[in-house]
Structure 1
Amino acid sequence: MTDVSNATLKELGERVAVPAYDRSALRPGLVHIGVGNFHRAHQCVYLDDLFATGTGHEWGVTGLSVRSDDKALRDDLTAQDGLYT
């Protein structure tokens, strides 16, 4: 199994959808409280589609959590450069 990260995007692109835009061009425009599975599987999918059109890059998401048990998710996403499948 290949870990998900910026370094593995090219390899992963053969098997899974990868961002079709320059992620470094995104700017924070939204704050979302709670970045759990539902948010990432729904709202972020729509934003990914928008970013792939070359627009909306000023609407990047900044995730915010108030629960201490979300630290593990933050650490996992940080290790994966914010990417997930």
Structure 2
Amino acid sequence: MSKIINVIPNDDYTLLIEFEDGSKILFNMKRLIKTMRYLSLTDIERFKNVRIKDKVISWDDFDNLKPQMLPLAITLDNILLMLRD
């Protein structure tokens, strides 16, 4: 799969992921935001503050992250595996 060029967060907790080859994926995050790791994304403003870098979608600024914090992110590989289920 090609590089992610854009991610559009929607009010229903889905992400429209666009790739450089023109393909798109609509990824539903409703189930994930109920888990401990992604629980802070229930705040819709935080959810909409999404970033992309290569094959990673994140909600944190990696450059300004405190050393003890894990970044809140999901990789393209993880998304594709979840779409199989």
Q: Aligning the two structures, in what range does the TM-score lie when normalised by the shorter sequence?
A: under 0.3
Which structure has the higher relative contact order (CA within 8 Å, separation 6+)?
1
Which of the two has greater helix per residue? 1
Normalising by structure 1, report the TM-score: 0.27
Which of the two has greater strand per residue? 2
Normalising by structure 2, report the TM-score: 0.27
